[in-house]
Amino acid sequence: FLTIDYDSSVKSLGFIAQEVYNVIPEAVNTGTTNELWAMDYTKIIPILTKAIQEQQAIITALTTRIAALEAK
C-alpha cells in the first residue's frame, strides 16, 4: 500500500494509487488508460481521522476493562 522511493535523491512517501482505488476509489484520479493514476490525499484525511477515533474508543474501553479486572 505504501511506496518509498529510495532511488531518487529526494526521498518520497506515498500510496500506490491502483491499490488505494480498490479500497477508496474516491481518493484516486485515474485519468485515461495511458496516464498515471494520482492520489488525492485530502480525500483520505476524514477516513483516517475516523479510524483513529474508532481505535481510540477501543483503547479506552480496553483500558477501562483492564483496570476493572486488575481491581478484583
pLDDT digit string, tens, across residues 10-68:
667 788 888 999 999 999 998 766 678 889 999 999 999 999 999 999 999 999 999 99
Tell me if 4 sits within 8 A of 12, measured CB to CB. yes
What are the residue ranges of helices labelled H in the chain? 17-21, 45-71
The confidence score (pLDDT) of residue 57 equals 98
| Residue whose C-alpha cell is 493514476 | 37
Separation CA 72–CA 55 (nearest Å): 26
Produce one character per residue of 7-25: b if its CB has 16 or more CB atoms within 10 Å, e if not: eeeeeeeebebeebbeeee
pTM over 0.75: no
